[in-house]
Amino acid sequence: MRPAFVILSTVFLCGLLSVPVLAAEENDGDDKPFAEAHIVLQLADGDAESQSRVLSVANNLIKHYGGPDFVDIEIVAYGPGISLLFVDNANDQRISSLLANDVRFVGCMNTVETITRKTGKKPVLIPETIPVQTGVARLVERASQGFVVIRP
């Protein structure tokens, strides 16, 4: 009887020790231990004004929190908003600056597949794009992980 208890206790402890590892995997390795806020900016609009606004909000948040180490920002682009992530986007310098400040850019592959099917040409996204199958599902996942979802 005693060995069974030891085995069950060991299994239980191993399970407890693996919880932080699972949580880290769920967070996609974007650990920011000093971040005061975790924010997802939603971009579903393709017009230049909406795209500029999202980039400005990300920049303003970095300034407000005192630097990129103190705020965790992700921009999720889907639908017409995916054009922000096109390689030859007019905002490439602003995007580069935000990338240098650890802002993540996430692109919806359902949108890319739809564009490819409708136009016969697959859009080329910036190489730093984090691909997800469904942009809206990413927003839901991030909200469940404690991120605040904002649509500027």
Write the pLDDT tens digit of every residue in 91-142.
999 999 999 999 999 999 999 999 999 999 999 999 999 999 999 999 999 9
Are 74 and 39 contacting, i.e. CB atoms less than 8 angstroms apart? yes
User: What range defines the domain where residue 12 resides?
Assistant: 1-31
Are 45 and 76 within one domain?
A: yes
Domain shared by 66 and 112, yes or no: yes
Residues 79 and 136 in one domain: yes
Count of domains forming the chain: 2
Here the CATH number for the domain that contains residue 136 is 3.40.1260.10
CA distance 15 to 9: 10
Query: 132 by DSSP, 3-state: which?
Result: strand
Q: Do residue 39 and residue 86 come from a single domain?
A: yes
What does the pLDDT look like over 22-61, one tens digit per residue? 333 344 545 788 999 999 999 999 999 999 999 999 999 9
